[in-house]
Structure 1
Amino acid sequence: MADLAIAVNNLDFAYAQLNAPARPVLHDVTLNLPKGSRCLLVGANGAGKSTLLQILAGKRLTRSNAKVLGNDVFFKTPDGVTYLGTEWASNPVVRSDLEVAHFLDSVGGYRYKERRDRLLDILDVDLAWHMHEVSDGERRRVQIVSGLMAPWDLLLLDEVTVDLDVLVRSRLLAFLAEETQTRGATIVYASHIFDGMDSWPTHLCHIQLGSTVAPSPLSWPLTGAQGEDEAVPAEVRERMMDPDRSGSRLLELAVHWLEIDKKMRIEKEIREGGKQKRGATGAANGVVTDSEAFYRKYDYSH
């Protein structure tokens, strides 16, 4: 247990709702990660990846028995945990006429000058920028500099590289890998972008409809260990390992997992009933929404 950065077993979580039953989001989640690992969370939109990261960061109070760096996060989120999510960029403060140099100093950049300066170079950030004038991608770079300046032991990333160009993203991922190798820091990273990622993670965690799929985590690259056949069927492994194939093996596996997830979600919705399927409603078969019927009635364009 002392060698684990994250120890989560049989975690359940539901959002409380006023005058309604709690809405389950996570069920039977298991994720035990050794220190120094880099784990990619893989799952469809709405699978629960962000909620899990928020629980690990101490942002969702729940008696989850989730241990982070040896501490139960419900009672005490330990020092050395850094969480970076996409919601930061919508904060009106960071969209105001605020100079980047002043902003970074206000969050303690002067205390970590060496790391700050290295990150400024890696992320190509100009200290003279004004936050209300920069692009979304440039604003995201400032967020990452501010979040990574102080040394961290566990980094939780929720889609924060989505706005970065490919060069900056590549340099950032190399820096993060170096942090895990030289300092024994640990990273859990939720992303839907797998380009150039084949050699980056040490583990994968597949979250399917709010639950982790065994083995969790799955060691990467694949080693042939017990349990891998369940996560990676023979036909998928054969396609991944074909020496004549092109493209990402990691992407091949992620697409396979997401296809299964979609099929299971549809089966679940049919089984539970009372929920309209996603996508087209089937107007060709006589299914017309109330809004469509209303606007057709007063449509004089034809």
Structure 2
Amino acid sequence: MHGVVDVVLDDAPEPSCAVAVDALTYAYPGCDAVLRDWSLRLPPGSRCLLSGANGAGKTTALHVIAGKTMVNEDVVRVLGRPPFHDIALTCGGELSYLGAQWRRNIGSAGADVPLQGDISARKMIEGVADVDPARRERLVKLLDVDLDWSMKALSDGQRRRVQICLGLLKPYKVLLCDEITVDLDILGRLDLLEFFKEECEVRGATIVYATHIFDGMADWMTHLAFTSNGQLKYGGAKVDIPEIQGTKHLLSTIEKWLRIDRDERRAREAAELAAPTAKKIDAASHFQTRHMAYYR
């Protein structure tokens, strides 16, 4: 199946689509479109693997769905609501986003400085209000977080565990994950995936998970969205994609797709060099804008 991922569960609660993206085209100023006619529909309780080469548009798609970037209200809907314009989605915790970076800008040191300081993990985690103590205790144990850790003395993997714990403290309805397990060890990653699976099956949460690590993903995912050159090339419920039926090694299939994607990209780049006067897309109307919650 190619194109739109459109699956509706029988007797599904309203709205029938937890995530609905309809013909999204998005470009940064002065650049060609990063996403073109990109459409995705996911029912409640689904676990979608978002895959594709670097630069294929995965992170941009997640940012748009997360409401971090403004698009027309009718293009993206999460739980039936526009995520950029309806700030209650993110402020209330129904829509949660966990990105690959946990950084801050410091004027004297430049950008992309790891978030750290002489503060304990306990103070950060227990400082989040209105959290179920049992859920917090479970996550601390699951992620093997030592509450007495000092944030200024942690490895990348330990700091990542604290970040994930903070992001999952409040129950979400839709969770977007962008390469969040890259710093975790094998056990930490597998335990987290099992927790995500339970969240979807028991609470009906929906998860879109972007990663380049495919161990265990064939059994974990219910849906797949493979993005190539800004378009959804392979997408749908896992059972409806012939290319991955019966495979226990998802990597082998996605490797083939990635090699095709790379060859097509190289061919496009060669064609662009041969035609240097090609006109770029006017992207002024797609300028990236702060989330509405910033102005609250």
TM-score clears 0.5:
yes
Which position in structure 2 is the counterpart of 1:98? 119
Query: Is the Cα contact below 8 Å between 2:65 and 2:83 reproduced in 1?
Result: yes
C-alpha distance in structure 2 between counterparts of 1:275 and 1:104, whole Å: 55
Q: Which runs of 5+ in 1 are unaligned?
A: 242-247, 277-302
Letter of the 2:78 partner, please give it.
Answer: V
TM-score of the superposed pair, with normalisation by structure 2? 0.79
Query: Which of these residues, 46, 68, 71, is aligned with residue 78 of structure 2?
Result: 68
Query: Which of these residues, 189, 199, 204, is aligned with residue 209 of structure 2?
Result: 189
Which position in structure 2 is the counterpart of 1:264? 264
Q: Deviations over 1:264-292 (max 9, x none)?
A: 1111112222699xxxxxxxxxxxxxxxx
Deviation at 1:213, TM superposition (A): 1.3
Q: Deviations over 1:166-224 (max 9, x none)?
A: 0111111101000000000000000000112221000000100111115x3x222xx3x
Query: Is the Cα contact below 8 Å between 2:102 and 2:114 reproduced in 1?
Result: no
Which position in structure 1 is the counterpart of 2:51? 42
Larger radius of gyration: 1
Query: Which of these residues, 95, 105, 111, is aligned with residue 81 of structure 1?
Result: 95
Q: Which runs of 5+ in 2 are unaligned?
A: 1-13, 106-112, 277-296
Which position in structure 1 is the counterpart of 2:230? 210
SS in 1 for 2:218: coil
Which position in structure 2 is the counterpart of 1:158? 178
C-alpha distance in structure 2 between counterparts of 1:203 and 1:90, whole Å: 33
Which position in structure 2 is the counterpart of 1:244? none
Comparing 77-86 and 186-195, the one that deviates more = 77-86
C-alpha distance in structure 2 between counterparts of 1:22 and 1:197, whole Å: 33
Higher RCO (CA-CA < 8 Å; seq separation 6+): 2
Query: Which of these residues, 140, 157, 164, is aligned with residue 120 of structure 1?
Result: 140
Query: Is the Cα contact below 8 Å between 1:269 and 1:275 reproduced in 2?
Result: no
Deviation at 1:111, TM superposition (A): 2.6
C-alpha distance in structure 2 between counterparts of 1:117 and 1:57, whole Å: 27
Report the CA distance shift for 1:97/1:269 in structure 2 as closer, same or farther (over 3 A). same
Letter of the 2:62 partner, please give it.
Answer: L
Query: Which of these residues, 49, 57, 60, is aligned with residue 51 of structure 1?
Result: 60
C-alpha distance in structure 1 between counterparts of 2:147 and 2:54, whole Å: 35
Q: Superposition RMSD on alpha carbons, in Å?
A: 2.1
Query: Is the Cα contact below 8 Å between 2:199 and 2:205 reproduced in 1?
Result: yes
Comparing 58-67 and 139-148, the one that deviates more = 58-67
Which position in structure 2 is the counterpart of 1:291? none
Q: Deviations over 1:66-90 (max 9, x none)?
A: 1111002232142401100122155
Which position in structure 2 is the counterpart of 1:176? 196
Query: Is the Cα contact below 8 Å between 1:89 and 1:140 reproduced in 2?
Result: no
Q: Deviations over 1:210-263 (max 9, x none)?
A: 11115x3x222xx3x4xx45xx2xxx86xx65xxxxxx4211111111011101
Deviation at 1:2, TM superposition (A): 1.9
TM-score of the superposed pair, with normalisation by structure 1? 0.78
- How many residues get paired? 251
Query: Which of these residues, 32, 42, 58, is aligned with residue 33 of structure 1?
Result: 42
C-alpha distance in structure 2 between counterparts of 1:124 and 1:190, whole Å: 23
Query: Is the Cα contact below 8 Å between 1:63 and 1:74 reproduced in 2?
Result: no
